[in-house]
Structure 1
Amino acid sequence: FLRSQNEPTLDRQLPKTSDVARLVNDRPAAWVDDDLDDEASNWAHTRPEPTLLIQPDPAAGLVAAHVTELLSFAAALATRS
């Protein structure tokens, strides 16, 4: 599990992007989080490696459509040369 060095507070989001970036390095990544921010989106869209962000509704959680999207992402990676 990824653990942040920062303690969350009720008045701000927990910054996770730098921790995730360090963890995945230059590998493809799928990040599922109900609390993604603009920094995460910018990171995902500017990195050269395939990157999938999924932001489930906190009330619904991970649903079948998300799993399908993750499986499609993984399948596309498997066919890369």
Structure 2
Amino acid sequence: SLDTGTAFHCRVLEPEEFSKRFIIAPEFNRRTSAGKEEEKTFLEECARTGITVLTAEEGRKIELMYQSVMALTECIAGEVDQ
């Protein structure tokens, strides 16, 4: 999704901004009224503050891609230093 691409870009190029602009949603028990209410409150608060909500799966993928980029960057830097 567009949010995932934007979040990945931010994670790589503006890591200090990532937690200010994005949040990975916790798991909510949607089978209970309390869980549904917790999720609703969470999403309303994120909307109020302008923070983009990512699913746990989106967060996992972004982190894996980020780690791959960082590993490649370190590898390239090591080759340049030699």
The TM-score with structure 1 as length reference comes to 0.34
- Larger RCO of the pair (alpha carbons < 8 Å, separation 6+): 2
Q: Which has the higher helix share?
A: 2
Largest Rg, 1 or 2: 2
The TM-score with structure 2 as length reference comes to 0.33
